A and B are shown apart, each in its own frame.
Chain A
């Protein structure tokens, strides 16, 4: 496979001007993609710091990723129990503070952020009622957030979509507001895979430091271990936040 990039990189000693950034990855009981998110953080050149849901020490991290999974089995509603974790209160406070801690919620992480009211709307069962795992084409609608500044506006990217409760819903007033304020971060392209309102795949808060999306950028960071097409489109999420942290593009 001569056309491909090396599959295995040595991420243990990142040597970029951005290294030194510490990005927390939260683990709840039932979190599944925490190791993947940590790998993505390292691949981008930052240090991944494990945060345990029951702790209250943010360990001076510069940003936080809330990874995917089925925290508490998603048994009540996706994210409904995790939002009350002590670590989540700390994260919410830091995200809303003047420091505006960058927070990325992926899949179950997005659901936790909406249950925590850090992001508007909610997720219900996919319209076709089945779990779906596929390589998903998205359009970057807003490249002005902490987690998307490395993309071109309107850029189309392929990352992994996998969920059971991925249908984004909100009332029209909220949806109009999101559109007006350019807070729809990502839209599904081609086919709306879960019946989300206005094909919304991800949204941001007003300040642009909190972003949540259903698809999984951390599964598209390494050639050969992600989507068939390209396969590394997810890496820019994690390099974007590093750029943001060193005061580059917002």
Chain B
């Protein structure tokens, strides 16, 4: 069944403690090439049947209203993945 994948990230100007902690750990393990880390969330909405434009629009709306908190987060990607 096709899935709609939604990626949500903290807005760039919002402090990301999670990303900060991971960024601190990377060089300790020898991974020195990375300047910064930001951690986000991925949601997979499974659809029974074909993903129509209407369903995709619904997913976008759900992403903006429920899956993300518009005060601190942005929806950065909504895409359809066929298995």
- Interface segment, one of A70-78, A136-144, A209-217: A70-78
Q: Does the CB pair B17–A76 fall under 8 Å?
A: no
Residues 1-54 of B contacting A (Cβ, < 8 Å): 17-18, 20-22, 24-25, 28-29, 39
Number of A residues with CB within 8 Å of any CB on chain B: 6
Contact residues in A for B24 (Cβ distance below 8 Å): 72
A225 beta carbon closer than 8 Å to chain B: no
A84 beta carbon closer than 8 Å to chain B: yes
Q: Report, as a range, how many residues of chain B touch the other chain.
A: 10 to 19
Partner of A75, one of B18, B28, B29: B18
Residues 69-96 of A contacting B (Cβ, < 8 Å): 72-73, 75-76, 81, 84
Q: For the complex formed, measure the closest distance between the CB of B66 and the CB atoms of chain A, giving whole angstroms.
A: 15
Closest residue of chain B to A72 (Cβ to Cβ) is B21
Total A-B pairs in contact (CB under 8 Å)?
Answer: 23
Q: For the complex formed, measure the closest distance between the CB of A196 and the CB atoms of chain B, giving whole angstroms.
A: 24
Partner of A73, one of B21, B28, B29: B21
Closest residue of chain B to A54 (Cβ to Cβ) is B28
A84→B18 CA distance, assembly (Å): 17
Closest residue of chain B to A71 (Cβ to Cβ) is B21
Q: For the complex formed, measure the closest distance between the CB of A231 and the CB atoms of chain B, giving whole angstroms.
A: 35
Contact residues in B for A72 (Cβ distance below 8 Å): 21, 24-25
Contact residues in B for A76 (Cβ distance below 8 Å): 18, 21-22, 25, 39
A149→B17 CA distance, assembly (Å): 42
Contact residues in B for A84 (Cβ distance below 8 Å): 25, 28-29
Partner of A81, one of B17, B22, B39: B22
Contact residues in B for A73 (Cβ distance below 8 Å): 17-18, 21
Interface residues of A (CB under 8 A from B): 72-73, 75-76, 81, 84
